[in-house]
């Protein structure tokens, strides 16, 4: 039950401080008979000023900082529905945690775009997977800071997948006094970036990687998940489909100047949808799994070629220090993936790569909004077709030294060795996170979303011991749909790898509201939760600072 004090505070927050339906959303919330687990695929309320949340259980006093999460505010505006989960209209969220209490606020980040869509009923430019008949080109003028234009719009693009804290080369935000970050930048799979105020969540400016180097064509594709260096460098790739042949330009962004340097140009790999660039301490790994782009279409989904079980997965290893592709590998199996769990070098110099893999890319088709609204939870009738979770898989890239290159200087394609793939039913995982201290290094524990009941999209969280190949699961007593679990280390604890907590935002089907939930990362036992007065739409990734 909420305390009277909390109710008065909430009323004040929701009225005077401004809870707003998504601009133009109208009555686009869930219908009365909707399954509560699907509420996160409909329009949700924006809370622009800090609102205190009711605490149940205990939030550890050592947990101090801000959790930032990206998501959609809605998929519907005016007469248009953005028909793919990845095409929702962006919103950023902040949970400020201090002294066992939590305050929450959110801010829409694509208002200029939404205004155009509401007025025209059309999506400007391409999309991930919406109806091509609802897409229009040339009618919406968006300006990005791109090395040609010195300034960009504030909110003319959807950029809501992941974040880069303290992105190089940007001035400190004028309102960021008291913020844990100098700057905050949102990313997506297109070559789009958006600077966000880390205090108010106000959108500041949209830009592209072309601002760092003019070869990083603004019309190209990049990973939502760049890689990072210990010195603050940011690494990514730019897939330039206008080049003949198409080229992956792997690049770094200087932590000092924000300038971009091309580290490698890869022209012998098929153009594909690659959501992440992988990284160890010393190397970058571009993994070209199968989501090959080869058809004319106004949407990325429509451009993908049919699945080819004989198309091997390619691994390109690039030196962070010197640049250049130093080795190339191919696996015997075809797979699709989204994310790195971790990658590291063993004592022989070989690379170990852990990632969730799928046997095809059917989830990209499953992620249509109408399908998810209709077929998540009991309505799925036990089918796992729409579930987000994949197989935990480990690959080995042996160190061949000089044996990686022919005498003429061309690369030898060596075999990538699949070491193991854990049992799907027991150990399925996606949206993976680890203790960030261990990225690029030998580690033991991985965390992620998990599906116990087939058809529920995701209903639990998992901790996988990569050494013992065992797991623990947080499985709530009532139906929940949790988000990516973010590990926060205990600064006052033992210092062991799993000493900390997980932060997840989960929809509680019984309460019909979302909560920020804090889970002991050692035992996978819930410690406490901050109950939200609203449903938070289902998004992808976040960062704690």
Instruction: Summarize the annotated binding site for Fe cation as residue ranges.
Output: 225, 275, 339, 541
Question: C-alpha angle 413/405/231, rounded to 5°?
Answer: 90
In eight-state DSSP terms, residue 276 is: B
Query: Which CA distances in Å does 366 have to 384, 410, 498, 517?
Result: 11, 40, 34, 27
Contact 96, 108 (CB under 8 A): no
Q: CA-to-CA distance for 102 and 43, rounded, in angstroms?
A: 23
Sheet strands (E) in 75-208: 76-77, 80-81, 89-98, 101-108, 123-124, 135-136, 162-165, 184-187, 193-196, 203-207
Q: b/e for 486-507, b at 16 or more Cβ within 10 A? A: bbbbbeeeeeebbbbbbbbbbb
In whole angstroms, what is the distance from residue 342 CA to residue 118 CA? 41
C-alpha span between 411 and 407 (Å, rounded): 9
Q: Which of 210, 365, 343, 198 minimizes the C-alpha distance to 285?
A: 343
Where is 12: in which H helix or E strand?
Answer: helix 4-15
Strand 325-330 versus strand 314-319 pairing type: antiparallel
Cα–Cα distances (Å) from 487 to 59, 81, 389, 447, in that order, read 14, 34, 19, 8
CA distance 193 to 245: 26
- C-alpha 517/C-alpha 526 separation (Å) is 7
Of the candidates 214, 189, 219, the residue with the CA atom closest to the CA atom of residue 90: 189
Specify the residue for token string 């330009």.
249
Q: How far apart are CA 532 and CA 32, in angstroms?
A: 20
The token pair that represents 473 in the structure block? 């699961």
Torsion of CA 153, 132, 539, 279, to 10 degrees: -80
| Residue 214 φ then ψ, to 5° | -65, -15
Query: Binding site residues, as ranges?
Result: 225, 275, 339, 541
Nearest to 531 by CA among 511, 516, 512, 509: 516
Between the alpha carbon of residue 540 and those of residues 148, 150, 279, 339, the distances in Å are 31, 30, 20, 11
Print the SS3 string covering 174-221.
CCCCCCCCCCEEEECCECCEEEECCCCCCEEEEECHHHCCCCCCCCCE
Tokens representing 145 are 């800071």
Residue found by looking up tokens 């700057």 in the block: 183
């Amino acid at each position: 039950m909420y305390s009277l004090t909390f109710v008065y505070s909430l009323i004040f927050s929701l009225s005077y401080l401004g809870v707003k339906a998504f601009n133009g959303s109208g009555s686009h919330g869930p219908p009365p008979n909707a399954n509560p687990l699907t509420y996160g695929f409909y329009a949700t309320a924006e809370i622009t000023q800090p609102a205190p949340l009711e605490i149940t259980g205990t939030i550890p006093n050592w947990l101090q900082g801000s959790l930032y999460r990206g998501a959609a505010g809605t998929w519907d505006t005016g007469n248009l529905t953005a028909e793919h989960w990845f095409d929702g209209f962006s919103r950023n969220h902040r949970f400020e945690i201090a002294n066992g209490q939590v305050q929450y606020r959110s801010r829409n980040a694509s208002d200029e775009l939404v205004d155009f869509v509401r007025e025209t009923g059309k999506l400007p430019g391409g999309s991930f997977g919406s109806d091509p008949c609802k897409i229009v080109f040339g009618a919406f003028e968006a300006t990005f800071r791109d090395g040609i234009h010195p300034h960009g719009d504030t909110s003319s693009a959807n950029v809501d997948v992941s974040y880069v804290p303290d992105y190089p080369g940007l001035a400190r935000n004028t309102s960021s006094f008291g913020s844990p970050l100098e700057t905050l930048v949102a990313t997506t799979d297109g070559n789009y970036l958006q600077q966000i105020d880390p205090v108010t969540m106000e959108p500041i400016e949209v830009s592209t990687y072309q601002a760092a180097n003019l070869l990083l064509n603004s019309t190209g594709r990049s990973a939502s998940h760049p890689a990072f260096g210990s010195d603050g460098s940011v690494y990514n790739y730019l897939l330039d489909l206008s080049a003949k042949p198409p080229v992956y330009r792997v690049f770094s962004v200087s932590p000092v100047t924000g300038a971009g340097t091309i580290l490698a140009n890869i022209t012998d790999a098929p153009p594909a949808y690659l959501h992440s660039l992988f990284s160890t301490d010393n190397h970058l790994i571009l993994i070209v799994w199968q989501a090959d782009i080869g058809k004319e279409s106004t949407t990325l989904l429509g451009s993908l070629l049919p699945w080819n079980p004989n198309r091997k997965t390619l691994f390109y290893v690039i030196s962070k220090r010197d640049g250049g592709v130093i080795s190339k590998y191919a696996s015997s199996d075809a797979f699709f993936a989204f994310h790195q769990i971790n990658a590291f070098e063993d004592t022989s110099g070989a690379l170990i790569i852990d990632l969730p893999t799928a046997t095809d890319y059917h989830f990209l088709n499953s992620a249509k909004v109408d399908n998810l609204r209709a077929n998540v939870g009991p309505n799925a009738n036990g089918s796992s077709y729409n579930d987000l979770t994949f197989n935990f898989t480990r690959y080995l890239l042996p160190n061949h030294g000089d044996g990686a290159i022919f005498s003429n200087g061309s690369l030898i394609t060596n075999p990538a060795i699949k070491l193991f793939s854990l049992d799907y039913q027991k150990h399925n995982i996606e949206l993976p996170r680890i203790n960030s201290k261990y990225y690029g290094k030998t580690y033991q524990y991985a965390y992620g979303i998990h599906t116990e009941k087939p058809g529920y999209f995701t209903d639990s969280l998992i901790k996988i011991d990569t050494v013992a190949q065992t797991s623990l699961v947080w499985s709530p007593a009532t139906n929940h749909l949790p988000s990516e679990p973010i590990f926060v280390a205990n600064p006052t604890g033992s210092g062991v790898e799993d000493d900390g907590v997980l932060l997840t935002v989960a929809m509680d089907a019984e309460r019909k509201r979302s909560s920020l939930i804090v889970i002991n990362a050692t035992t996978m036992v819930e410690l406490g939760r901050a109950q939200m007065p609203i449903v938070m739409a289902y998004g992808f990734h976040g960062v704690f600072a």
